[in-house]
Structure 1
């Protein structure tokens, strides 16, 4: 349990799980034990997971749940730092439970622990808001480390899962329609509050040309409104706002 996970690399390397820095920022759990709720429909599995997590002095299992709806009630009542759950559960599956937790209790992080490593299942879990995904075959040696990582606002994934996600991101990056340098310039100036006439004067082009660049950028990004274009610029670092 002593080996610490490395930060996210440019590409996943086989054989080691990865802790991915997340956007949550400051660790709100510093100085106290992490409060965890376990969710799995097999009592023997829950007992084993509890034994692993309770064996140290940094994590406390505060409740268990045997199905997704019971899990939501436990989270509402206890506000845990992390939920460790299986994908396959009665009443409400782990994917939908993850989505509900992230929507209703956004301070609680979700770590999925499952035998399912299929791409569709992993991507659905991440899209639903899971901060980490461990295959049960690696749980014994990595579970405490994974819980601590997601509680800090990081992501944590088993090696095969991390590789799958990186491959999918690389595929999306290759397919993403890139803006030209002039289109990026126009988008940035729009996000900074410049009017079309001002942009045209700065770039020494006509207003019609500015409109054309704006339209091309919005088409490539599948964006329909100027407000969405501004949000894209801010999120993508094109604007200092």
Structure 2
């Protein structure tokens, strides 16, 4: 996980190149974050999660080849230390419940804005760090 010496390693998974580019700009302009990879489909997201072992996977639900729920389930099974934050245009209660059921640690609707995403990343990392410290 993140400490003062090493930045938080983030993998981006969204089928929109514009969203990935905007996320990369935001995160790389924020101290303590490093984008280590990008995926435009579910299969690539799963593979890169295994290969890169990021601290955080920012994941869209509507990915080709494997949807975000399936990606989350596979990533949590194969790389359980990866914390997953869903960034989606769908934020209804059912979608949030499905996300929680597959092991997602955080959820942000795209219309909530970048500050909400940064706050959710911070919350997820703080929670994960607290869990590790209490073990």
TM-score normalised over the length of structure 2? 0.89
* Structure 2 alignment gaps of length 5 or more: 129-135
Distance 1:139 1:64 in 2: 20
2:3 aligned to 30, 48, 55, which one?
Answer: 30
Q: How many correspondences in the alignment?
A: 127
Distance 2:127 2:27 in 1: 19
Higher strand share: 2
RMSD: 1.2
TM-score normalised over the length of structure 1? 0.51
Mean CA deviation greater in 67-76 or 140-149: 140-149
After TM superposition, the structure 1 = structure 2 runs for residues 41-190 of structure 1, keeping only pairs within 5 Å, are 41-153=15-127
Distance 1:153 1:69 in 2: 28
Question: Is contact 1:34–1:58 with CA below 8 Å preserved after alignment?
Answer: yes
Residue 18 (structure 2) pairs with residue 39 (structure 1): no
Shift of 1:141: 1.6
Shift of 1:74: 0.7
Distance 2:127 2:86 in 1: 15
Shift of 1:153: 2.8
Question: Is contact 1:50–1:61 with CA below 8 Å preserved after alignment?
Answer: yes
Distance 1:86 1:139 in 2: 15
Structure number with larger C-alpha Rg: 1
